[in-house]
Amino acid sequence: MDDEGAKAAFVRDAIAILQVPDHRKREADWYKSCRAHPITGEETELVYATIYVEDRASTELTFGPTEGLERQVIQRVVEVAIACDPKERIVEVCAKGGKDVRDEYATVFAKHFAPEAPPPIEAPRRDVLLEVLRKQPDFLIEPADGIDRVEVSSLNLFATGGGSARFDRPGEGETIHHFLARQFGSVSPLKGRGWTIAGATLRIYMTATEGKRARSLTVTLRAPNYTTIPNKTDIDRQFVMRLLERWKLVAPPPEDVEVIAAE
């Protein structure tokens, strides 16, 4: 992300997506900033890029010095904003033009900053509903799923007054929920006031089938809307998302809204 040559090449290709004449003014602003987690306050350093390109001028009616109506020329600017979390390999794009155009920016970004990586895939943000895990969840499994069992392998909790705690599944024969109840009883952080579940890791054990060995899928969820689903294959992404929806661990997808772009 500090390669000046990659930055210049990305800006050049990003401006080409806008299809503006060469004489239009343009400028790119690169900077780093920290984004604080809304629950834990943990900071993540992100790399930001904002590209400004001179757009076509327009005119508007306004009251001039003589209090009469005058037509004023407004020089508009088109903005394209990119935010990248290099550690998690996540790129966020804010630009006019709809999904196809945003996909172009993401592809160009990956081409210059992660040329050896697989093509980027879209991962719409869905809020995770971790409060479901305050009690031992009843993971509904259907025969067609091919799942042997599901377990909560870790829980991350955050105290309102500050501080955090992580609990891992102690071993075979006991779940995290049973362990916390046995160790802490009525003062378990899952029951006590002031504790928020900030993250969890699920392990999904698949049943061995003819010609395929048994395997497991590990999914990490972190409030408010982070999952490791994008790191999986397309088939596994769809499969895991269906399971999380069934188990009420992710919020429903936002309703589609028809947007008409302004000319």
The 10s digit of each residue's pLDDT in 19-72 is 888 888 999 999 999 988 777 777 889 999 999 999 888 888 888 777 788 888
Closest CA to 90 of 227, 239, 237: 227
* Residue 252: per-residue pLDDT: 86
Whole-number pLDDT of residue 255: 64
Give the span between the Cα atoms of 86 and 94, in whole angstroms.
Answer: 17
Amino acid 263: pLDDT: 41
Residue 132: predicted pLDDT: 94
pLDDT for the residue numbered 260: 42
Sign of CA dihedral 7, 12, 17, 18: positive
Q: pLDDT value at position 166?
A: 92
pLDDT at 259: 44
Give yes or no for a contact between 179 and 165, defined as CB atoms under 8 angstroms apart.
no
Six token digits for residue 187: 């003062």
Residue 235 and residue 245: Cα distance in Å, rounded? 16
Closest listed residue to residue 105, CA positions, set 95, 115, 117, 118: 95
- Look at the pTM and tell me if it is higher than 0.85: no
Listed as ranges, residues in the chain with pLDDT below 70 are 254-263
d(CA 228, CA 220): 6
Q: Is 158 exposed, middle or buried (0-12, 13-18, 19+ CB in 10 A)?
A: buried
Distance between CA atoms of residues 20 and 208, nearest Å? 55
Q: What pLDDT does residue 258 have?
A: 44
Tell me the C-alpha distance between 125 and 135, whole Å.
Answer: 25
How far is the C-alpha of 17 from the C-alpha of 210, rounded, in Å?
A: 48
Neighbouring residues of 44: CB distance < 8 A, sequence distance ≥ 6: 34, 35, 37, 85, 87, 88
pLDDT for 160 equals 83
